Amino acid sequence: MELFIVAAKIVVVLGVLLTGAALTTWAERKISAFIQNRVGPNRIGWAGIFQIVADMVKLVMKEDIVPKSANRFVHDLAPMISLTVAMSTFAVIPFGNTIEIAGQNIKLMVADVNVGVLYILAMTGMGVYGVTLAGWSSNNKYSLLGGLRSSAQLISYELSMGMSLIGVIMIAGSVRLDQIVLQQTEYVGGWLPAWNIFLQPVGFVTFLVSAFAETNRLPFDLPEAEPELVGGYHTEYSGMKFGMFMLSEYINMITASAVVTTLFLGGWHLPFAETWGLSPFTLALLQVGTFAAKVICMIFFFIMIRWTIPRFRYDQLMKLGWKWMLPLAIANVLVTGLVLLLTTN
Amino acid sequence: MGSNGQIIRKKDLNFWDRLYIPEILKGLVLTFRQMFKPEITVQFPEERFTPPAQFRGRPVLVEENGVERCVACGLCSRVCPALAIEVQASETELAKERFPIKFEINMVRCIFCGFCEEVCPEEAIIMSNEYLLVFNNQQEAVFGKDKLLKSAAEMHDRLEFLRQHR
């Protein structure tokens, strides 16, 4: 029974994640079109919603070209690493409170890991291996530059990302993600939900910027900067291997949105919903819906940022990471520690 | 550049400018508002764009009272940079004395530059507003008089435009 529940959770989460990634590509094309006063895909299905199916068919049908001098094994391996890491990060995200189905109390997260935050940091850090190996194995100078940039970017932003999370961990007193969400369901002064965005605004901003850098999204998409590096690390990829990189980018975006939601936006918490007197089952469903709505808002924000801000220059990126974000995150940790020390005594 | 044209040096930026965040929010508001503006796309096969009079579409010969204005002087043929026009003159009883017995424009060669229209002393060859040209083979692309002739009434807008702006 236990095994069946876990398997069911994996199937559902993976299905939602992959469908979500497909819908996100559609949403990105549609939103970018609206921002630029265009129409966007509108031929296949309602408002072009099945465009991604056509694109997938195209990518699968395409010839898989491997450069003559590429390292074939690593060249094949890199997109797999990217996709696997992207998909496995979502495992520890609690997308709802416990729900009771047929007398079973089911916790709405795939893996109840007791070091959830560390797992997320480790997995997002792993993602760079796919990009760097792809750049190196292609035996192409542009790809290599893209891969190198990706690793340099990761080193610069992983630090401030971890640092900005320490404040959250200090407040919750735990690295379990469900614990962090539960702590956010309380209220400050009886009316303001104790979401970490209100308690840790500086941590929120630094984490958000780091998340953009981690997912290689604009304004930090230097590893694939088209004007300088052709296609960056995936210049030499074609067919479904390119599709895997694309898919992992969008899954990473969804995961990053989910992580931001969990850590800073109260996770599945819908303010004051527990006082409405709903049945526990309805409440749990409502909370899952709330979580989805928050994630969708974050994805929308990611897309809006991409079509608003131009790309940073490489030195600007480094300067922002080391001279602004890291000191800011460390200062945030110090201030949080001081406030916690003064209020608990 | 500032709003009145002076260059803003980096030292002129205040704390909030250096923080980026207010500026990024301003940009986000701009893009968000842009989303609700009507789109300017023309859905081509279903909707057709009707060009204004100043549009240089395919060249046509103007026909007045059932006769073309052309006097077969051959200037268009001489000026054509792509060598697309071929004219053969012949005599006629009409007041203009000459007329083109053969007038062919190879539409594969034509580059829509409008030189023929500019050079024509009789306002006989002008650019129309037609831009949909599809051929299945080279022979089909050679437009003779049958395809080139258009009545002056039909080309009224373009003729008016030329009189005003040339």
Q: What is the pLDDT of residues A248-290, one digit of tens each?
A: 888 988 988 988 988 888 888 888 777 777 787 888 888 888 8
How far does the CA of residue A205 sit from the closest CA of chain B (Å)?
Answer: 9
Contact A120, A113 (CB under 8 A): no
How far does the CA of residue A218 sit from the closest CA of chain B (Å)?
Answer: 13
Coil, helix or strand for A188? strand
Chain B residues whose C-beta is within 8 A of a chain A C-beta are 21, 24, 27-28, 30-32, 34-35, 37-41, 43
CA angle, A203 then A206 then A207, to 5°: 80
Residue B78: its pLDDT value, please? 92
What is the residue-averaged pLDDT of chain A? 85
CB pairs < 8 Å spanning A and B: 35
The pLDDT > 70 percentage for chain A reads: 99
Tell me which residue in A37, A38, A304 faces B28 most closely, judged by beta carbons. Answer: A304
Instruction: Residue A79: name the closest of A223, A231, A242 by CA.
Output: A242
Q: In this model, does residue B13 exceed pLDDT 80?
A: no
Q: Residue holding tokens 């997938």? A: A56
Q: In this model, does residue A2 exceed pLDDT 80?
A: no
Which chain B residues are Cβ-neighbours of A37 within 8 angstroms? 34, 37-41
What's the token pair of residue A206?
Answer: 């630094």
What's the token pair of residue A344?
Answer: 């608990």
Contact: B27, A308; criterion CB under 8 Å: yes
Domain range annotation of chain A: 2-344
Q: In this model, does residue B128 exceed pLDDT 80?
A: yes
Q: pLDDT, tens digit, for every residue of A91-123?
A: 888 887 777 777 777 777 777 788 888 888 888
Query: What is the distance between the alpha carbons of residues B87 and B77, in angstroms, rounded to a whole number?
Result: 7
- Residue B5 burial (C-beta neighbours within 10 Å; 0-12, 13-18, 19+): exposed
Q: In this model, does residue B81 exceed pLDDT 90?
A: yes
Q: pLDDT, tens digit, for every residue of A153-205?
A: 888 888 888 888 888 888 888 888 888 888 888 787 777 787 888 888 888 88
Q: pLDDT, tens digit, for every residue of B141-163?
A: 899 888 888 888 888 888 889 88
Q: B133 pLDDT band (50/70/90 cuts)?
A: confident
What's the gap between Cα A250 and its chain centre? 8
Residue B9: its pLDDT value, please? 66
- Domains of chain B (ranges, CATH numbers): 59-165 (3.30.70.3270)
Tell me which residue in A37, A205, A308 faces B37 most closely, judged by beta carbons. Answer: A37
Q: pLDDT, tens digit, for every residue of A209-220?
A: 888 888 888 788
Residue B2: its pLDDT value, please? 54
How far does the CA of residue B38 sit from the closest CA of chain A (Å)?
Answer: 6
Using the CB atoms, write b or e for A204-231: b if 16+ within 10 Å: bbbbbbbbbbbbbbbbbbbbbbeeebbb
